[in-house]
């Protein structure tokens, strides 16, 4: 038996993935044209991520994870290649990515009384109700880990924002004008996320959609990424940043910017590790001795 290899899907894999999707005998599309190339492209980057399994250089199976609703958008194996373990590993990759973003559970739907129906039940997924009139059944898998990231109401973020204010003002006495208030975090165009660890709110982060007055491209400004000290070093800030970036991508925004400072080495290391590059001041910011400005193309 040829060795299987797994990797992230690319645009070049779309023809092979589409051919597999059309060839399957169960969960067939009544209208294959309904799943367009643009949808494959969107779920590769803007709306999610994809993975493929190769054997002897040929793509034999693939999976897609949808970020916004934490679902499995696709998981298919080439007919005749079932039972090799490709589906199990591709499902693990998709689920692991979604859980890594802090989702509490992952969802999917599949045809009832099919091979896929039996497969998901065997993998420990919880079988739900039938979808009325569709012949499909819902499945869910709960995140066994401690981290959950979800929208946070500004009114519930008071302790975090106060601790963030104190932390920033202790390092940058003149930074107050750059700190978004709870009221500002509740305005249209701003998304605030909370991070819960074992049910306790331990961190937050926000992104503000900005349309420059000079007609330049829209961008998202990352704001208020903060964790209580006891929960630092667990990858929570990275997960928050990735979720904030995905919120922008889902809206079609391809540029993220942020302002930080020289007295935050951990934050600087995080942003550099995520691919942010130095740039000059933007928006209403002006250059100063402690400010650091960064951006990333998404």
Q: What is the pLDDT of residues 51-110, one digit of tens each?
A: 999 999 999 999 999 999 999 999 999 999 988 999 999 999 999 999 999 999 999 999
**Which domains are assigned to the chain?**
4-142 (3.40.630.30), 147-297 (3.40.630.30)
Neighbours of 167 (CB within 10 A): 14
Give the tens place of pLDDT for each residue, 135-191: 889 999 999 999 999 999 999 999 999 999 999 888 887 665 578 889 999 999 999
Q: Are 78 and 23 in contact (CB under 8 A)?
A: yes
CA distance 231 to 42: 34
Q: What angle do CA 293, 296, 298 make, to 5 degrees?
A: 155
> Can you tell me the mean pLDDT for 115-143?
91
* pLDDT number for residue 173: 77
What's the CA dihedral at 106, 70, 63, 96 to 10 degrees?
Answer: -60
Question: Taking each helix axis from N to C terminus, what angle separates 236-250 and 265-273, rounded to the nearest 10 degrees?
Answer: 50
Residues in contact with 68: Cβ distance below 8 Å, sequence separation at least 6, in sequence order: 47, 246, 250
The residues facing 63 across adjacent strands are 51, 75
Question: Residue 235 gets which letter from DSSP?
Answer: S
What's the CA dihedral at 91, 92, 94, 98 to 10 degrees?
Answer: 130
């Amino acid at each position: 038996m040829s060795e299987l290899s797994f990797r992230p899907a690319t645009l070049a894999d779309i023809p092979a993935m589409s051919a597999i999707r059309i060839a399957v005998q169960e969960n067939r599309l009544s209208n294959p044209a309904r799943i367009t190339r643009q949808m494959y492209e969107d779920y590769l980057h803007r709306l999610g991520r994809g993975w493929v399994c190769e054997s002897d250089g040929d793509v034999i199976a693939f999976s897609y994870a949808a970020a916004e609703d934490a679902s499995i958008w696709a998981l298919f194996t080439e007919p005749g290649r079932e039972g090799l373990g490709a589906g199990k590993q591709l499902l693990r990759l998709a689920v692991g990515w979604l859980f890594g973003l802090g989702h509490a559970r992952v969802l999917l739907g599949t045809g009832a009384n099919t091979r896929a129906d039996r497969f998901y039940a065997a993998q420990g997924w919880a079988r739900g109700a039938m979808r009325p009139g569709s012949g499909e059944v819902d499945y869910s898998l709960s995140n066994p880990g401690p981290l959950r990231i979800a929208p946070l109401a500004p009114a519930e973020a008071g302790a975090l924002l106060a601790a963030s204010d104190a932390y920033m003002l202790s390092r940058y006495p003149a930074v107050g004008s750059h700190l978004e208030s709870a009221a500002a975090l509740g305005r249209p165009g701003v998304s605030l996320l909370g991070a819960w660890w074992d049910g306790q709110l331990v961190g937050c982060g926000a992104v503000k959609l900005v349309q420059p007055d000079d007609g330049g491209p829209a961008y998202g400004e990352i704001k208020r990424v903060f964790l209580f000290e006891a929960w630092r070093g667990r990858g929570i800030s990275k997960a928050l940043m990735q979720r904030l970036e995905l919120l922008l991508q889902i809206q079609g925004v391809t540029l993220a910017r942020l302002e930080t400072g020289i007295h935050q080495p951990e934050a600087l290391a995080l942003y550099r590790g995520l691919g942010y590059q130095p740039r000059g001041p933007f928006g209403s910011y002006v250059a100063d001795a402690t400010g650091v400005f960064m951006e990333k193309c998404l």
